[in-house]
A = this chain, B = another copy of it.
Amino acid sequence: MSGAAAPRRRGRPPRAADGDAPAARDRILEAARAEFSERGYEKTSVRGIARAAGVDSALVHHYFGTKEQVFEAAVEVAFAPALDAPAAVADGPLDGAGERLTRFALGLWENPATRAPLLAIVRSAVDNETAAAVFRRLIAAQLLRRIAGRLEPPDAELRAELAAAQLVGIVMLRHVIKAEPLASADPELIVERVAPVVQGHLTAP
């Protein structure tokens, strides 16, 4: 702010050299998503994110705070559009919820823009409690609260989670482990097979 031009590693970060703060902020988020999805939470550093974004580490801390906060911002900003979808999934007619939820979950992973932050969460959540908590929170907030609230007790939350488990498992084998034949299967064939199963978890007696 006071025009200090000498590079400093600590203290107030300089304004982005290119003078375009929103662009720098977006570059940091994009770099963070790429780093977290490629390396997982533990192996990703704020310094590595800053390097990939072409900014100083101090600017990353300035915009986002700790590494944990960068992680949350990176995955949650990317989720913002996707997180509106469960409303439509959960709020439509209950007897089509299985297919809507299946198409929604598979669609998130077919779309490169949402696949990267999702991979970041999965790769991070298996060995880091912070990332696991973000995963749990996404599942709890979006799925259990919205969908389970409409199911018959008892075990409404367990039903919703078993439905989610079917989809989580498909995504793990198809997109993370890449096991054939699921990795190359036609998405429509998967929907055809899986939507009735998800529906059964939600509403079968």
Enumerate chain A interface residues (CB-CB to B < 8 A).
38-40, 42-43, 122-123, 125-127, 132, 135-136, 139-140, 155, 157-159, 161-162, 164-170, 172-173, 176-182, 185, 189-190, 193-194, 197, 200-201
Contacts and interface: CB of A to CB of B under 8 A. Distances in A.
For this chain, the copies found in one complex come to: 2
Contacts of A140: 179-180
A177 B123 CA distance: 11
A40 to B, nearest CB: 5
B136 A177 contact: yes
A104 B197 CA distance: 21
Contact of A178 (B136, B162, B165, B166): B136
A161 B182 contact: yes
Contact of A125 (B157, B177, B197): B177
Contact of A179 (B136, B170, B172): B136
Contact of A185 (B139, B158, B189): B158
B122 A179 contact: no
Contact of A162 (B158, B170, B176): B170
Given A43-B42, A123-B126, A169-B168, A179 B197 contact: no
Contact of A173 (B168, B170, B180): B168
6 nearest CB pairs, A to B: A169-B169, A165-B169, A168-B169, A165-B170, A161-B182, A123-B126
Contact of A182 (B125, B158, B180, B190): B158
B193 A181 contact: no
Contacts of A166: 165-166, 169, 197
B127 A123 contact: yes
